Amino acid sequence: MKIGGFNINKDSGVFIIAELSANHNGSLETAVETIRAAKRTGADAIKLQTYTADTLTIQSQKDDFIIKSGSIWDGKTYYDLYKSAYTPWQWHEKLFKIAAEEGLICFSSPFDKTAVDFLEDLDAPAYKIASFEITDIPLIEYVASKGKPVILSTGIAGKEDIELALDACKRMGNEDIALLKCTSSYPAPIDEANMVMVKDLRERYGVISGLSDHTMGSTVPIVATCFGAKIIEKHFILDHSVGGPDASFSMDEKEFTEMVKVVREAEKAIGKVDYTLTEKQTKGKDFSRSLYVVEDIKKGDKFTEENVRSIRPGFGMHPKHYYNVIGKEALIDLEKGDRLSFDNIDNSNNQ
């Protein structure tokens, strides 16, 4: 999977996405500065959301349209929430341009076909399907038909939902797919993160897997990295004082910078399966055990448990030879502190 200039595969680093979402709080200037701040954090990409209140829902005061799901937005109508949170479409071209100038990859989550068409005109390099849209099979088919990488967030998805979404992409001839483990709570409890799913999604479905995270802090992204996540998305805000509907579960510049740092450190710590020793590890063998003479020995004396021991440092004979040495005779005089070697052991009586 290649998004912009970033090639995401099993051997690559983690693709870190700063999610702008509603964290401009209605200010284009704030949106621009947020993109510039995202670059400073070390993020690889900035992601927008492309919708309007009218493309997501209808304006209605009926009970069904009032949020009451135990979220931070309870009591609002869906329409009012999305009207306050959306990123004006007339901003997109400038935001894509600013991202390019900063060296950030910019793409978006479309929420209907008109948004996909709009983003196609901006040459978006990939598409993200938001958690709550994973059941919108017609939308997924339309997105997949564009032949670009599709990132699916699985926040509300059971196995059947995931499989229907994957099948929709594949029907369109698009197998350039990633699945992100997501807990659709805002903020999400850490004990519901279930990061072992990152590994299972990859192995079960044969796709790139990752994390769309709404927990607080960097712990879950680190764990996701250790389970093989190749994409990590986190909501990013210029400063919590900006406010807005997503501010409470978003990372500010300092927090996001720290997350990028520890994720990169986790990548280095994971390393690879390799039993060869580095130069430092080889040097460390100086502190290992080996066979030394611990009492003076005359030529012809036998090596015993009293005059030979396995001790530090590691310059002498390997301890695995200990029982082959005991009972043999010394070929030369040896002093306390001399290394044992095959050259000073009489093996003429070997059976």
pLDDT at 276: 87
- Same domain flag for 46 and 178: yes
Q: Quote the tokens at residue 335.
A: 């002093």
Out of 270, 300, 327, a domain closes at: 270
Confidence of residue 84 (pLDDT cuts 50, 70, 90): confident
Give me the pLDDT at residue 218, please. 96
Same domain, 290 and 205: no
Which residue pairs from 143-146 have beta carbons closer than 8 angstroms and sit at least 24 positions apart in sequence?
Answer: 143/110, 143/116, 144/168, 144/169, 144/170, 144/171, 144/172, 144/173, 144/174, 145/172, 145/174, 146/116, 146/120
Pick the closest to residue 26 from 107, 87, 78 (CA basis): 87
256 shares a domain with 285: no
208-213 and 231-235 beta bridge pairing: parallel
**For residue 116, pLDDT beyond 50:** yes
Query: What distance, in Å, lies between the first and last C-alpha atoms of the chain?
Result: 64
In this model, does residue 264 exceed pLDDT 50? yes
Does residue 142 share a domain with residue 167? Answer: yes
Q: 351: pLDDT confidence band, cut at 50, 70 and 90?
A: very low
Average pLDDT over the chain reads 94
Residues 14-57 have pLDDT tens digits of 999 999 999 999 999 999 999 999 999 999 999 999 999 999 99
Q: Which residues contact 231 (CB under 8 A, 6 or more apart)?
A: 8, 14, 15, 17, 151, 178, 180, 208, 209, 210, 211
Looking at this protein, which amino acid is placed at residue 212? Answer: S
Predicted pLDDT at 72: 80
Q: What are φ and ψ of residue 3, in 5° steps?
A: -120, 115
115 and 192 assigned to the same domain: yes
Q: Is residue 57 part of a domain?
A: no
User: Is the pLDDT reported for residue 71 higher than 80?
Assistant: no
Q: How many domains does the chain have?
A: 2
Please identify, among 270, 299, 316, the residue that sits at the C-terminal boundary of a domain.
270
Whole domain around residue 339: which residue ranges?
A: 279-346
Q: In the block, which residue shows the tokens 């710590």?
A: 269
Phi and psi angles of residue 202, each rounded to the nearest 5 degrees, phi first: -65, -45
Beta-bridge partner residues of 21: none
Q: Please indicate, yes or no, whether residues 181 and 321 belong to a single structural domain of this protein.
A: no
Distance of CA 290 to the CA centre of its chain: 42
Domain boundary, last residue among 253, 270, 287: 270
pLDDT at 150 over 50: yes
Measured in degrees and rounded to the nearest 5, phi and psi for residue 162 equal -60, -45
For the record, the structure tokens of 256 come out as 């996001």
Q: Does position 323 have pLDDT exceeding 80, yes or no?
A: yes
Instruction: Note whether residue 12 is domain-resident.
Output: yes
**pTM of the complete model:** 0.86
Among residues of the chain, what percentage have pLDDT more than 90? 84
* 188 lies in the same domain as 103: yes
pLDDT tier, 12 (very low <50, low <70, confident <90, very high otherwise):
confident
- Domain presence at residue 81: no
- 292/227 same-domain check: no
